[in-house]
Amino acid sequence: MAARAASGTPIIDAQGLMKSYDRQRDVLKGVDLSIAAGERVALIGSNGSGKSTLLRCLIGLHGISGGSLATMNQPLSARNHRAVQNSIRLKTGFIFQKHCLVRRRTVLSNVVHGFFGTPGSWRAHSHHLAPTAWRTRAMEALDDVRLADRALARADTLSGGQQQRVAIARALVRRPRLVIADEPAASLDPLSGKNVMDLFARLCADHGITLLFTSHDMDHALTYANRVVALKNGRILFDKASDKVSQDDLKDTFND
């Protein structure tokens, strides 16, 4: 049975979701995807299959072209209302392949930046301006990723793997309900990538955060997700529990 949890309102509920960037070609051709609270879902598929597009649509960064979509109970449409986008953004943490830290700022300030978008968010520019409660939360988040001792170092003095851990702390500092990660370990060497994914999956589980991530590393997809969704040419090829995914499934996913 797919690892689709049965109870409660889904965190993400997409039905027949379509997306075209140019009105000529559909990149997503009718995607049904329902994700329940607490699931850890890996999205896999070859280059150009539509993974990043789907992630962006699900959190309102791109308007959809057809079908229906609700994320955390907020309906999203072709023209997303800024208030809806903001509301979803506040409850979501993002992590991308490139961590996008502000290189010249301290590690602690970069984590405090996770509070941008909340009321009084000009105070999130720097840890010096941040309210004590935010600084405390940021230090706790750094402790979670085992970098509390580097809090006052400049971000660009850390290694790539350490910087990705800072990005995780920044994404989790507001305790979001949902974390979306687009190839979070892709720029890391195998060991750092594994460490980052271990930490990431454990923190989401500990804090009851729903996790949706993309990866081209099938070991990561099968190990750190309890459900795997494969996209092929803008459609879902399969959607099943990770322990049910076979080598043939993976072959079908990446074959032309």
Ligand X SMILES: Nc1ncnc2c1ncn2[C@@H]1O[C@H](COP(=O)(O)OP(=O)(O)OP(=O)(O)O)[C@@H](O)[C@H]1O
3-state secondary structure 25-63: CEEEEEEEEEECCCCEEEEECCCCCCHHHHHHHHCCCCC
51 or 232, CB closer to Mg ion?
51
Residues 4-33 touching ligand X, rule: CB under 6 A, are 21, 27
What's the closest the beta carbon of residue 59 comes to Mg ion, in angstroms? 14
Quick one: which segment of 4-12, 40-48, 74-82, 162-170 binds ligand X (CB under 6 A)? 40-48
Assess 45 for contact with ligand X (CB under 6 A).
yes
50 binds ligand X (CB under 6 A): yes
Q: Quick one: 52 or 163, whose CB is closer to ligand X?
A: 52
Residue 26 Cβ vs ligand X, minimum distance, rounded to whole Å: 10
Sheet holding 227-232, edge to edge: 92-96, 178-182, 210-214, 40-44, 227-232, 235-241
Which of 53, 110, 210, 215 contacts ligand X by CB under 6 A? 53
Nearest approach, Cβ of 243 to Mg ion (angstroms)? 25
By CB under 6 A, is residue 52 in contact with ligand X?
yes
93 binds ligand X (CB under 6 A): no
Choice between 51 and 150, CB closer to ligand X: 51
Q: How many residues bind ligand X (CB under 6 A)?
A: 10
Q: How far apart are CA 9 and CA 3, in angstroms?
A: 15
Token digits for 140?
């706790």
Give one DSSP letter per residue of 182-241, joined into a string: ESTTTTS-HHHHHHHHHHHHHHHHHTT-EEEEE-S-HHHHHHH-SEEEEEETTEEEEEEE
Which residue's CB is nearer to ligand X, number 50 or number 93? Answer: 50
Instruction: Give whichever of 47 and 132 is closer to ligand X, judged by the CB atom.
Output: 47
Buried b (16+ CB within 10 A) or exposed e, 150-165: bbeebbeebeebbbbb
- Closest contact distance (angstroms) between CB of 176 and ligand X is 22
